[in-house]
Amino acid sequence: MDPKMDEEDLDRKAVFKILLVLTIFVLMSIAFLWCLYRRNVLGILAVITVVVAVVIGFYVNIPVSVATTIANVNVESIAQNAATNIERFRGRDKTAFVVGYTGETGKELVKELAKTKIFSKVTLIGRRNVQLSKELLGQDFNVQRVIDFEKLEESADVFKGHDVGYSCLGASLDKVGREGFLRVDRDYVLKIAELSRKGGTTHFNLISSQGADKSKDHLYFYMKGVVEEEMKSVGFKRLSIYRPGLLMCDRNESRGYDMILQKLLTPFQLFSPGLVTTPTTTLAKAMVHVTVAPSKEPFELYDGKAIHKSTLTA
């Protein structure tokens, strides 16, 4: 795919499928209410069957592996041994940095790091200093550093001396446009990875997206897939990539159709967690559990199901 192609040319088929599914969902909801009103049990069951079939049919066309994506990674073991691993990791006097800590997932990750105290120091890197929430007050290991993301090379020293790095950067394509999306999700991420690797970071954690695939025509999924591939060549001793589903959270700002989708997909979170949705709290907890888990794998890929399973502590 030509990454310079206009947004309106990007995967119209995917947009059409989404609209088609939403239309069918609305029509089936109306039919369901009508059958409920008429007390037609068979009609209700038929409507439910159609809706489930349509949603599953749509989902299986999404290019994402639902199974555990690395054979040598036992996510159940990560979850079961989380408490022991956290205690062991604390004694290693490790340090970390977080970029994108003002976003929804970044905020939850910082809370989780403050709660577990697995690092002796955490550097929060952003465009500006922000007032930390009450959960983080008194956490003197949280240090904020302000940088210019357009001049990352000038801030190379900020990325030196950290054992672990977390990238929670992400821009909304419909909010910042094509150029803004590429600058944040590709250019910033890859440059930060390069600088942190040179600065001594051995384990890098990257939040990607369900459906990331460099063979896709849709710019969002295409670029996420490209970044994943390029990250593998940076040279980290350990690279952990997370592919969450639709992030479930209470956003401070409206972000396209996210809020509508969250309402529609809430049942999936209840009956099949990790299938198409991922709460930001779950993702943050999974990132901590993965960090402290022993691993000899240079590359680990966690999909929505694996993210969920890695948090199921006893």
**Pair 50, 99 in one domain:** no
Using CA atoms, how far apart are residues 211 and 60, in angstroms rounded to an integer? 11
Q: Which of 101, 188, 220, 222 is catalytic?
A: 220
Q: Is 89 helix (H, G, I), strand (E, B) or coil?
A: helix
| pLDDT for res 258 | 62
- Residue 157: is it exposed, middle or buried by C-beta count within 10 angstroms (0-12/13-18/19+)? exposed
**Pair 33, 80 in one domain:** no
Whether 295 maps to a domain, the answer reads yes
To the query of whether residue 121 is one of the catalytic residues in this protein, the response is: no
Residue 95 pairs with which residues in a beta bridge? 121
To the query of whether residue 191 is one of the catalytic residues in this protein, the response is: no
CA distances to 134, 244, 246 from 111, in Å: 10, 19, 21
Domain boundary among 33, 59, 85: 59
**Pair 50, 98 in one domain:** no
Whether 64 maps to a domain, the answer reads no
**Pair 165, 214 in one domain:** yes
- Contact between 192 and 185 under an 8 Å Cβ cutoff? The reply is no
Using CA atoms, how far apart are residues 297 and 238, in angstroms rounded to an integer? 7
Whether 66 maps to a domain, the answer reads no
Q: What is the CATH number of the domain that holds 274?
A: 3.40.50.720
Whether 291 maps to a domain, the answer reads yes
| pLDDT for res 71 | 42
Closest by alpha carbon to 104, among 278, 236, 224? 278
- Write out the residue range of the structural domain in which residue 214 sits: 75-309
The DSSP annotation for 80-121 comes to HTHHHHHHHHHTT--EEEEESTTSHHHHHHHHHHHHH--SSE
| pLDDT for res 135 | 65
DSSP-derived secondary structure letter, 310: T
Q: Which of 94, 224, 285, 309 is catalytic?
A: 224
**Pair 36, 119 in one domain:** no
For the chain, the domain total comes to 2
**Pair 273, 142 in one domain:** yes
| pLDDT for res 6 | 42
Residue 177 Rama label (left phi>0; alpha psi -120 to 50; beta): left
Whether 1 maps to a domain, the answer reads no
**Pair 298, 180 in one domain:** yes
pLDDT digits (tens, 9 = 90+) for 233-280: 999 999 999 999 888 877 666 555 566 666 666 666 666 677 788 999
Whether 222 maps to a domain, the answer reads yes
Reading the block at residue 89, the tokens are: 């990791």
CA terminus-to-terminus distance, the chain: 46
**Pair 199, 259 in one domain:** yes
| pLDDT for res 215 | 86
Which parts of the chain register pLDDT below 70?
A: 1-22, 24-25, 28, 32, 35-36, 40-73, 134-141, 251-272, 314
